[in-house]
Amino acid sequence: MTDLSQFIGGLPKAELHLHIEGSLEPELMFALAQRNHVAIPYASVEEVRAAYDFSNLQDFLDIYYAGADVLRKRQDFHDLAMAYFTRAAADGVVHAEIMFDPQTHTDRGIAFEEVIEGLLSGMRLAETELGLTSSLILSFLRHLSEEAAFETLRAAGPWLDRITAVGLDSSEVGHPPEKFARVFAAARAQGLKITAHAGEEGPPAYVHEALDLLGVDRIDHGNRALEDPALIERLVAEGMTLTVCPLSNHKLCVVDDMADHPLDRMLALGLKVTVNSDDPAYFGGYVADNYRAVAKARGLSRNDLVTLARNSFTGSFLPPEAVAAHLERLDAYAGG
């Protein structure tokens, strides 16, 4: 391992853009298929991995929703969460804000309670066993209706004190943030933070809408903001966090080549960017792999890497005291 690779592995960091359903590794998919007697259209783990060849977001989403069908019981969600936290902790992640897509499960007849209680028990165990703290972001599926999102927010009612934020994911183009303005206003009124995928495949106008109509606290992806100089200026002025996902961007053809990834350009522009794994089981790597891939492709310095880790804490939804404690540990690591 090179010095830089080792430095990345030990760098204390938060992960802010992670879909827990996207951390379902083929091995666990097979184990759960067996445990729950669910038929899957693959004969082997190798066959599953070979199917992960995407030309756009929708290609991926079709396979991702199909894979989630093996998740049936509370214990499955617990196991899924613990598998992710174990990998993340090994990558230097000390805090993770994980998205889950309740509608992917409730639409299959799985109770909201099974999903969230399984995740919460995994989160508690990660804290005691791995020292990794985490919080939940309830993500609405944007290809479904606003009414369905409202229904999901209602279902979450008994657990609102254990949910930190709401998010917006799934097929972006044709489903602008505007479609969900009222449900996000309702979520904010209930004390939840707001994040939304915007500018992954969708145009810069969707990033404007996420800011103006949803009142986001951060933007997931945001790559296409780079096409709009006034928007860049605004994001910089507001100190808006962007949760960028390099390996995802490459696998979903948001960038053709990792060598062309704009992360260093974003840093140079003064954008508050972070590095995240998105759906690590599908995109070929966890968060440290994302740091390594973009560091290698774009020649990032140790200083750049420390800035990315710093942004991951200051862009998190943690209280200021916790952020300060993480930054102190980060500074000790970077200076040591």
Residues 213-242 binding ligand ADE (CB under 6 A) are none
Site string for ligand ADE, 44-83 (x = CB under 6 A): -------------x------x-------------------
Task: Report d(CA 146, CA 42) in Å as an integer.
Answer: 34
Residue 68 structure tokens:
């989630």
In whole angstroms, give the CA distance from residue 330 to residue 336: 10
Q: Say how far apart CA 176 and CA 142 lie, in whole Å.
A: 8
18 binds, among Zn ion, ligand ADE, none (CB under 5 to 8 A by kind): none
Q: How far apart are CA 131 and CA 195, in angstroms?
A: 25
DSSP-derived secondary structure letter, 134: E
Minimum distance of ligand ADE from residue 147's CB (angstroms):
20
Q: Please, which residue, 165 or 330, has the CB nearer to Zn ion? A: 165
Number of residues that bind ligand ADE (CB under 6 A): 11
**Closest to 59 in 3D by CA, of 196, 254, 302:** 254
**How far apart (Å, rounded) are the C-alpha atoms in residues 73 and 230?**
47
CB of 144 to ligand ADE, least distance (A): 12
In the complex, residue closest to ligand ADE by CB: 169
Point out the catalytic residue in the list 200, 238, 321, 328. 200
B/e letters for 122-147, b = 16+ CB within 10 Å, e = fewer, are bbeebeeebebbbbbbbbbbbebebe
Q: Are 246 and 293 in contact (CB under 8 A)?
A: yes
Residue 97 in the binding site for ligand ADE (CB under 6 A): no
Of 114 and 200, CB closest to ligand ADE: 200
Judged by CB under 6 A, the residue of 15, 79, 114, 279 near ligand ADE is: 279
As measured in angstroms, the least distance from the Cβ of 19 to ligand ADE is 4
Determine the residue type at 127: E
Active site residues per annotation: 200
Q: Please give the residue ranges that form the binding site for ligand ADE (CB under 6 A).
A: 19, 22, 57, 64, 169-170, 197, 200, 248, 278-279
